[in-house]
Amino acid sequence: MKNKVFFITFNGMFILLILLTSLYTCTFMLKGNKKVSVEYNDSYKDSGFIANFLNISLNKYVKVKNNVDTSKLGNYIVKYELPFKTIEREVEVIDSKEPVITLNGLNEINLTYQKEYIEEGYNALDNYDGDITSKVLVEKNIDVNKLGDYQIKYSVIDSSNNKSEVIRNIKVVDNIAPIITLKGNKKITVKVNGDYSDEGYFANDNYDGNLTDKVKVTNNVNYKQVGTYSINYEVTDSNGNYTIEKRVVNVIENIEITYIKGILLVNKKYHLPANYNPGVNSEAYNALLRLQQDGMSNGHSLPLLSGFRSYNTQKNLYNSYVAKDGVALASTYSARPGESEHQTGLAFDIGRISDSFGNTSAGIWLKENAHRYGFIIRYLKGKESITGYKYEPWHIRYVGEGAATEIYNAGITLEEYLGVA
């Protein structure tokens, strides 16, 4: 019995000795660091372990317990177990990524001096917190009344204390050119060997203020030679913005131009010189636009068919009619060069070029309302012996609202109104 007890005791000690020997001769260790971190929502890839005994691999006997959840921040323990030993690795799921701030519009902006800056917007997204635009802090110190470089700083901190910052650079600049305002007319006419006394000008700049004394005037007019010239007015502000304004001067032949009651008269007796070239009269054209708009509002289309014609344009047109119909007939509906109202820039053909236009609703509306805008129907029916031309219900002439109303109410021609019939 004693021998049996001794044998059992001996065997137990032997097994214990083997286990203890195994414990100290077995290699069981972690690959990599004992404590590691992994980003939120990234995949956790374990570095593994080494487990062997006397060069015999024990890997298949190792049980790995891995409860790492990267969708939740926190600390986790990965366990590696052999029957006689356990080792551990600590894994921390962290959020160390900065939020991303995205600016709407440009990151570099030139802002016009004294113009209000209007924020174009931004948004902020975080990998953990999501949309945190409402947490963005905006710092700006722009002085639109002072030229220079400024910054707008957009910053945000997420719940993991990760901070992000974006800069929008603002440069307050003066990029607006000065404005030169001419006194008097921008288009003038003088006779050969005459002269023009400048009516003056004014220059103002949004940044520098009054620059009138900085204006350089260059008079290119040859008053001894018929032609079209310009007087140039130039100015540059302190920030290099340049402006040029021109006054057009037509030097014409010494032919009398007839004004009666302040109205320019042109017909077969009263002529214009060949170089009389004022272009479309702006006052008359603006009145025409109002007439057309109101006509359209009343259901009448009155398109512009012909406006200003130069002396040479009228010459070519008249000659083409003569070639077609002969001088006598052509002269009843087309003016010789120098005798055309279109050369004044005050006459327009609108609606439709046809005698029947006068009987249309548009033609009737035009006849009854043209004077309200300063126009007259220039060539009336039954007045051919006075005007020198056939009835033209489409041809209107600007004379100003006062004169036009008197002529309309009296039912007379311009010649009769001016006393030259």
Q: What is the DSSP string of 172-186?
A: EE-----EEEESS-S
* 182-214 b/e (C-beta count within 10 Å ≥ 16 → b): beeeebbbebbeeebeeeebebebbbbeebeee
For the beta carbon of residue 52, count every other beta carbon within 10 angstroms. Answer: 13
Give the pLDDT band of residue 5 (cuts 50, 70, 90): very low
pLDDT over threshold 80, residue 115: yes
The stretch 257-264 carries a mean pLDDT of: 92
| Count of residues in the chain | 421
What single string gives the DSSP state of each residue in 140-154? E---TTS-EEEEEEE
- The tokens describing 257, both together, are 């131009």
* DSSP one-letter code for 42: S
Query: Is the distance from CB of 164 to CB of 156 less than 8 angstroms?
Result: yes
Q: Which domains are present in the chain?
A: 2-94 (2.60.40.10), 100-173 (2.60.40.10), 179-252 (2.60.40.10), 259-418 (3.30.1380.10)
Would the pLDDT of 17 be above 50? no
CA distance 108 to 129: 29
Q: What is the pLDDT, as a whole number, of residue 16? A: 44
Q: How much is the pLDDT for 20? A: 47
CA atoms of 56 and 145, how far apart (whole Å) = 82
- Residue 366 has what pLDDT? 98
| Percentage of residues in the chain having pLDDT higher than 90 | 84
Span 136-148, pLDDT tens digits: 999 999 999 999 9
213-217, 252-256, 284-288, 315-319: segment of lowest average pLDDT: 252-256
Stated pTM of the model? 0.53
Asked if residue 363 lies in contact with residue 349, where contact means CB atoms within 8 angstroms, the answer is no
Q: How far apart are the C-alpha atoms of 9 and 268, rounded to whole Å?
A: 150
> Average model confidence (pLDDT) for the chain?
92
Label residue 1 by pLDDT band (50, 70, 90). low
**What single string gives the DSSP state of each residue in 215-258?**
-EEEE---TTS-EEEEEEEEEE-TTS-EEEEEEEEEEE-S-PPP
pLDDT digits (tens, 9 = 90+) for 385-408: 999 999 999 999 999 999 999 999
pLDDT at 47: 94
Quick: pLDDT tens for 308-324: 999 999 999 999 999 99
> To which residue do tokens 């962290």 refer?
94
Reported as a pLDDT band with limits 50, 70 and 90, residue 3 is low
Active centre residues (catalytic) = 392
Measured between alpha carbons, how far apart are the two ends of the chain, in Å? 165
pLDDT (average), residues 108-128 = 95
Report whether 249 contacts 231 (CB < 8 A). yes
